Amino acid sequence: MEELCRADAVIATADALAQAFTTMAHERQGEELDAWIARVTASEIADLQRFAAGLLLDKAYVGPARFNFPYSA
């Protein structure tokens, strides 16, 4: 993966965003969700933007606190 990230900035960005989301979920950092979604939106990576859009829809129902419960990770 490191070689791919060095060769392509879009892959490097997607990898960094995916790792950040994983960390946020595992460490129950729901308060970071809005900042992560903003980073995804700025990235112009369409697949991640669609994922983030789905999270925004879900956020209306469960909110970032969902990440703070033990069963969310």
pLDDT digits (tens, 9 = 90+) for 25-46: 888 888 888 999 999 999 989 9
Which of 72, 45, 1 is closest to 36 using CA atoms? 45
Host H or E run for residue 70:
none
Q: Which of 7-16, 30-39, 54-63 has the lowest mean pLDDT?
A: 54-63
58 Cβ contact list (under 8 Å, min separation 6): 66
pLDDT at 73 over 50: no
Tell me if 17 sits within 8 A of 43, measured CB to CB: yes
Q: Which domain holds residue 44?
A: 2-72
Q: State residue 60's pLDDT score.
A: 72
- Averaged pLDDT for residues 49-55: 92
Structural domain total, the chain: 1
Q: Is the pTM of this model over 0.85?
A: no
Tell me if 37 sits within 8 A of 56, measured CB to CB: yes
CA terminus-to-terminus distance, the chain: 24
